[in-house]
Amino acid sequence: MTTIRINVSGKNLEITQALRSYAEKKVAKIEKYLNQNQTSSAEVMLRLERGKHIAEVTMNLSGVMLRGEAKTADMYTSIDAAVDRIERQFNKYKTRIQRRMHGPKIGEVVSPRKSEVKEEGEPSIVRTKRFALKPMDAEEAVLQMELLGHDFFVFSNSDTGDVSVVYKRRDGNYGLIDPEY
């Protein structure tokens, strides 16, 4: 039997036993989608900001990261909406994996033009950029990102020699993504 390790925490909000139980029960319902031997964990962050109740759920399902966030006037409604977003993401991910494994259905292989058309609402790559990576440190990359007015910046990290990414976080700070090989 698969079990999800669930960690519920709060910020600017006291986590009552009823709230903790509700969040754990809602997140645990994702378990019905998992295989027997799948390892999974969930982080539930409940917080109160400017009168809005925010539920942020991050799940690691055997290496697949899913994240749902919702802001409403009621914490229970926020938890419901965040878990619903995770379920939609999981179903979308599962459908893509099945299509890759089983190939297109007979009805989908009508003509090359029809197979090239994406389903409505399904995102696709519409632009590709190529650029030279200049070696720089993270602070210089942040400066370049700000000068360009972007939310992220890809660069060759002069400290590690790897390709890294700096990004602007919602809290106004910056993040650095360094790959592990």
- Averaged over 72-95, what is the pLDDT? 88
* HSE-up of residue 64 (Cα within 13 Å, Cβ side): 13
Would you state the CATH architecture of domain 135-177? Answer: 2-Layer Sandwich (3.30)
**pLDDT band for position 63 (cuts 50, 70, 90):** low
End-to-end CA distance of the chain: 32
What is the token pair recorded at 161? Answer: 């020699």
CB 131 within 8 A of CB 144: no
Pairwise CA distance, residues 92 & 97, whole Å? 9
Return the structure tokens found at 55.
């539920």
Distances (CA, A) of 104 to 11, 68, 95, 149: 46, 29, 12, 41
Distance in angstroms (rounded) separating the CA atoms of residues 164 and 172 = 19
pLDDT band at 17; cut points 50, 70, 90? very high
For the stretch 137-172, pLDDT in tens is 999 888 888 877 789 999 999 988 899 999 999 888
How do the domains of the chain map onto residue ranges? 4-102, 135-177
pLDDT band at residue 107 using 50, 70 and 90 as cut-offs: low
AA identity, residue 143: L
Once rounded to an integer, what is the mean pLDDT over residues 17-35? Answer: 85
User: The whole model's pTM is what?
Assistant: 0.56
pLDDT at residue 2 is higher than 60: no
Task: Please state, in angstroms and rounded to a whole number, the distance separating the CA atoms of residues 141 and 160.
Answer: 14
Half-sphere exposure of 11 (CA within 13 A, CB side): 10
Q: What is the CATH number of domain 4-102?
A: 3.30.160.100
